């Protein structure tokens, strides 16, 4: 098994410099157009997906402040390139397991803004029937197996899904998103070991945003080079600039190709940053404003927009049209959620137990 030498970890929490990307793939994602839409069309699609996530969550902030949605809400703003870039490498038959910060993963996977917004409202039309809320988005029809509130809790589930596909001879990959905080949990290490030992078709996507709630990575991990630690389990692992959607897509395609070729699990450490607090309740006092501002200079949406503008691939009018389309989509999602019913109390015991294996087919 090839074990790629991962990039060295940064010593501070400065963002990777523009033009000095940690892209480990050596290739140029823009040289190909994997979607068949041409390079410009493909980039426009990436941009639209990232903008959808950003605008959706900005609307969630407004709705939360107006007490239209409640409970825990963890925003993905700043990390959109990860969900969008990785999803590009997956097929509808692949499986996805996510965290509590999963609005972006769900939207990138194609769950509609309407179904996600209804879930935020706790309405029956939500993707989890209104029972999950922000942290438990779920859609078996898209092989999107949650939304998980337990740090690292999705990893053993993902290994199980990958094992099932492996045993059934299905050529599918299971992609599991998790944070840097997962390295402090036994479930991460148990999953990494078993997946490598059994050569499971598992893509481990670590969103290293440098903080686990208010704790900086270097305050809880002695070795902060996460890709190197993953490689120590005997799997291919490398670090990628998680703010550059094309670098993410390129790396994810390479990893997925390796997995489908039977070389076992692959690990990607995506170096990214959340621009907002950990959750709506977090006063965000553990990091300097200057650090946040430095990372915002590498906003994944601006990075792609600037690249497209420089190449003459995007003009003001086209961007305005995309923004309008997304605004309309989200307006519609909010209106529909406002009108949708809550589950009647008589249904309280529905779906509590399952009489068949229908849930995982």
Ligand X SMILES: Cc1ncc(C[n+]2csc(CCOP(=O)(O)OP(=O)(O)O)c2C)c(N)n1
Contact residues for ligand X, defined by CB under 6 A: 101, 149-151, 179-182, 207, 209, 211-213, 278
Answer with the entry of ligand X, Mg ion, none that 359 interacts with (C-beta below 5 to 8 A by kind): none
Beta strand residue intervals within the chain, DSSP E: 95-97, 174-179, 202-208, 211-212, 215-216, 236-241, 266-271
Answer with the entry of Mg ion, ligand X, none that 194 interacts with (C-beta below 5 to 8 A by kind): none
* Nearer Cβ to ligand X (242/265): 242
User: Any contact of residue 16 with Mg ion (CB under 5 A)?
Assistant: no
Answer with the entry of Mg ion, ligand X, none that 50 interacts with (C-beta below 5 to 8 A by kind): none
How far does CA 181 lie from the centroid of its chain?
15
User: Any contact of residue 180 with Mg ion (CB under 5 A)?
Assistant: yes
- Candidate list 104, 179, 242, 258; residue touching Mg ion; CB under 5 A: 179
Residue located via tokens 């997995």: 259
Answer with the entry of ligand X, Mg ion, none that 107 interacts with (C-beta below 5 to 8 A by kind): none
Least separation, in Å, of the C-beta of 22 and Mg ion? 17
* Nearer Cβ to Mg ion (74/253): 74
Going by C-alpha positions, the residue among 134, 118, 35, 21 that lies closest to residue 76 is: 134
Judged by CB under 5 A, the number of residues near Mg ion is 4
* Nearer Cβ to ligand X (56/211): 211
Whole-number Å distance between alpha carbons of 19 and 247: 12
Least separation, in Å, of the C-beta of 268 and ligand X? 15
Least separation, in Å, of the C-beta of 68 and ligand X? 24
Least separation, in Å, of the C-beta of 111 and ligand X? 19
Pattern of binders to Mg ion over 197-216, x per CB under 5 A? ------------x--x----
Whole-number Å distance between alpha carbons of 21 and 105: 23
The DSSP line for 58-104 is HHHHHHHHTTSS-S-----TT-HHHHHHHHHT--TTSEEE--SS-HH
* Nearer Cβ to ligand X (281/317): 281
Answer with the entry of Mg ion, ligand X, none that 182 interacts with (C-beta below 5 to 8 A by kind): ligand X
Which residue, judged by CB position, is nearest to ligand X in the bound state? 179
The DSSP line for 108-128 is HTT--HHHHHHHHTT-TTSTT
* Nearer Cβ to ligand X (129/153): 153
* Nearer Cβ to ligand X (86/326): 86
3-state helix, strand, coil in the chain (%, to 5): 45, 10, 45
Which residue, judged by CB position, is nearest to Mg ion in the bound state? 179
Whole-number Å distance between alpha carbons of 256 and 4: 15
* Nearer Cβ to Mg ion (208/305): 208
Pairing of strands 211-212, 215-216: antiparallel
Task: Please give, one letter per residue, the 3-state secondary structure of 19-37.
Answer: CCCCCCCCCCHHHCCCCCC
Whole-number Å distance between alpha carbons of 253 and 86: 8
* Nearer Cβ to ligand X (77/212): 212
Residue numbers at the binding site for Mg ion (CB under 5 A):
179-180, 209, 212
């Amino acid at each position: 098994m090839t074990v790629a030498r991962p990039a060295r970890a940064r010593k501070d929490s400065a963002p990777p410099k523009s033009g000095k990307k940690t892209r480990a793939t050596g290739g140029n994602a823009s040289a190909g157009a994997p979607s068949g839409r041409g390079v410009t069309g493909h980039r426009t699609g990436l941009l639209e997906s990232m903008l959808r996530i950003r605008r959706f969550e900005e609307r969630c902030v407004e709705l939360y402040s107006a007490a239209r949605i409640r409970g825990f809400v963890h925003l993905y703003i700043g990390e959109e390139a990860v969900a969008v870039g990785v999803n590009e490498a997956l097929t509808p038959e692949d499986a996805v397991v996510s965290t509590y910060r999963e609005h972006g993963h769900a939207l990138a996977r194609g769950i509609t803004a309407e179904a996600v917004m209804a879930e935020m409202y706790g309405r029956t039309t939500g993707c989890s029937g209104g029972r999950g809320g922000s942290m438990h988005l779920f859609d078996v029809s898209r092989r999107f197996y949650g939304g998980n509130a337990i740090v690292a809790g999705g990893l053993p589930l993902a290994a199980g899904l990958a094992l099932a596909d492996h045993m059934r001879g299905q050529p599918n990959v299971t992609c599991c998103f998790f944070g840097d905080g997962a390295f402090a949990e036994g479930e991460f290490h148990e999953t990494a070991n078993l997946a490598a030992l059994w050569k499971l078709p598992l893509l481990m996507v670590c969103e290293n945003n440098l903080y686990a709630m208010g704790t900086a990575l270097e305050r809880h991990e002695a070795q902060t080079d996460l890709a190197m630690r993953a490689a120590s389990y005997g799997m291919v692992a490398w670090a990628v600039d998680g703010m550059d959607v094309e670098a993410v897509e390129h790396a994810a395609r390479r990893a997925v190709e390796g997995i489908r070729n039977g070389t076992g699990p692959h690990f990607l450490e995506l170096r990214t940053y959340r621009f907002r607090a950990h959750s709506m309740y977090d006063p965000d006092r553990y990091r300097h404003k200057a650090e946040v501002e430095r990372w915002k200079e590498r906003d994944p949406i601006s990075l792609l927009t600037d690249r497209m503008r420089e190449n003459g691939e995007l003009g003001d009018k086209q961007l305005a049209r995309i923004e309008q389309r997304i605004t309309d989509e989200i307006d519609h999602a909010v209106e529909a959620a406002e009108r949708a019913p809550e589950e009647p109390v008589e249904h309280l015991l529905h779906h509590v137990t399952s009489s068949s294996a229908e849930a995982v087919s």
